[in-house]
Amino acid sequence: MAYDVEKYRREYPILSREVYGKPLVYLDNTASTQTPVEVVRAVEDVYYRHKANVHRGVHALSQEATMLMEDSRERVRAFVNAGDIAEIIFTRGTTEAINLVASSYGQLLEPGDEVILSVMEHHANIVPWQLLRDRKGIVIKVVPMLADGSLDMDAYKALLSPRTRVVSITHVSNVLGTVNPVADIVRMAHEHGAVALIDGAQAIAHKDVDVRALDADFYVFSSHKMYGPTGIGVLYGKRELLEKMPPYQGGGEMISHVTFEHTTYAELPFKFEAGTPDYVGIAAFHKAIDYLTGIGTAPIAAHEEELLEYTTREMMKIPGMRIFGSAPGKCAIISFLIGDAHHYDTGMLLDKLGIAVRTGHHCAQPLMHALGVEGVVRASFALYNTKEECDMFLSALRRVAAMLG
């Protein structure tokens, strides 16, 4: 079936709005993708027809809401090919999922145990481990990258040691677009008796993810980066690990029995889901996954790759253009600077021309440091972007480059 981008665009009313009297060109998809009508309607449907707190009620609405939430859990399980719905924990996002693992699995670590991260991690995959270091005296080691933005796998191999307990690395860099060899990363971690967490925030909408084929111990991602509602994320974890881990937060839903003297905890996955979840968003997340798989991550990735190649080629013709990240097979993310122009000035001027890009350190300050910059401008593509939009972006970029000298 041909890739019908115009048809897909019609499902996103926001894409036909204007900013400053100019048609919006939305290229901030790495931060958050837009949400199609059918997913928004699914949110509306729960609010209008099924809203009642989940898991506790005998009445019809509560049972319907619970069923929608648990159907969504099963949908997520199938989507990432997990073996068991008990392995799918709903969180507020990737950040909370990593905090959950660092905090809970972290309690099983001893002073001097080592956690390996990479230089291209998002702060969400750095700071939780630093908090653990402060609490537990663990040691953090960092895998560097090569000049093209690929992970230095020789350095990774050299960092693995008998004290390595956790390897926590991103699947796709949110700045460089680098796709890391996560199956190898996981296998090598296992050879050293360590567990591997893969941050899938930037991969999940662009790659087919099979957690069992990857053999990842933990895999985390966010709904808002995959055309779904905000405020929802997923922690996939292997059952035997989740069973061993202490609860992350305490409260309703996560208990089996409570007295003032002693509390026993609920079974998985509820042990890790204290309090009322965003069951409305979770129900609509189901639709987002159906939507994504309906189009297919492979055709989406092929479409985005075309836009990436075309735009990169044309950008390189602009005098002074510096693009960060050229690893083979990179995802459709272009981080750049024009000469010495400040990233913020470039982003502001592009915004006035209707182009939404992101500027700054992209929650990856150690990576900025390694690149020798304070920040970069980032354009990133999604399933609904078009070649015409790339041309609008390129023409705006040429104007901005001329203005900034």
Give CA–CA dist 243/246, Å, rounded.
8
Residues 6+ apart with CB under 8 A from 402: none
Q: Tell me whether residue 202 or residue 385 sits nearer to ligand PLP (CB atom).
A: 202
End-to-end CA separation in angstroms for the chain: 45
Instruction: Please say which residue, 77 or 122, places its beta carbon nearer to ligand PLP.
Output: 122
Residue 94 binding ligand PLP, by CB under 6 A: yes
d(CA 72, CA 232): 12
Two tokens, residue 22? 């100019």
**Binding mask 31-70 vs ligand PLP (x if CB under 6 A, - otherwise)?**
x---------------------------------------
Give the integer Cα–Cα distance in Å for 224 and 387: 24
Active site residue 363: yes
Q: Which of residues 306-345 bind ligand PLP (CB under 6 A)?
A: none
For ligand PLP, the closer of residues 272 and 392 by Cβ is 272
Q: Least distance (Å) from ligand PLP to the CB of residue 165?
A: 21
Q: What are phi and psi of 111, to 5 degrees?
A: -55, 140
Any contact of residue 93 with ligand PLP (CB under 6 A)?
yes
Pattern 199-218, ligand PLP, x by CB under 6 A: x-xx----------------
CB atoms within 10 A of CB 241: 16
Annotated catalytic residue, options 76, 115, 363, 392: 363
Residue type, 250: G
> Is the CB of 170 or the CB of 335 nearer to ligand PLP?
170
| Least distance from ligand PLP to the Cβ atom of residue 237, Å | 17
Longest dimension (CA), the chain: 71
To ligand PLP, the closest distance from the beta carbon of 131 in angstroms equals 16
Site for ligand PLP in 14-33 (CB under 6 A): 31
The residue (of 82 and 124) whose beta carbon lies closer to ligand PLP is 124
Using rule CB under 6 A, residue 118 touches ligand PLP? no
75 binds ligand PLP (CB under 6 A): no
**Do 65 and 58 form a contact (C-beta atoms < 8 A)?**
no
- Of the candidate spans 3-11, 59-67, 102-110, 197-205, the one that interacts with ligand PLP by CB under 6 A turns out to be 197-205
Name the residue nearer to ligand PLP (CB basis): 54 or 364.
Answer: 364
Query: What is the rounded CA–CA span in Å between residue 93 and residue 156?
Result: 27
124 is a contact residue toward ligand PLP (CB under 6 A): yes
Is there a contact between 66 and 321 (Cβ–Cβ < 8 Å)? no
Shortest distance (Å) from residue 208 CB to ligand PLP: 18
The Cα–Cα gap between 314 and 330 comes to 17
The reply on whether position 170 binds ligand PLP by CB under 6 A is yes
Burial (0-12, 13-18, 19+ Cβ within 10 Å), 210: middle
Alpha carbons 173 and 169: distance in angstroms, whole number? 9
- Say which residue the tokens 């790495």 belong to: 30
Q: Which residues are catalytic?
A: 363
List contacts with ligand PLP (CB under 6 A): 31, 93-95, 122, 124-125, 170, 174, 199, 201-202, 222, 233
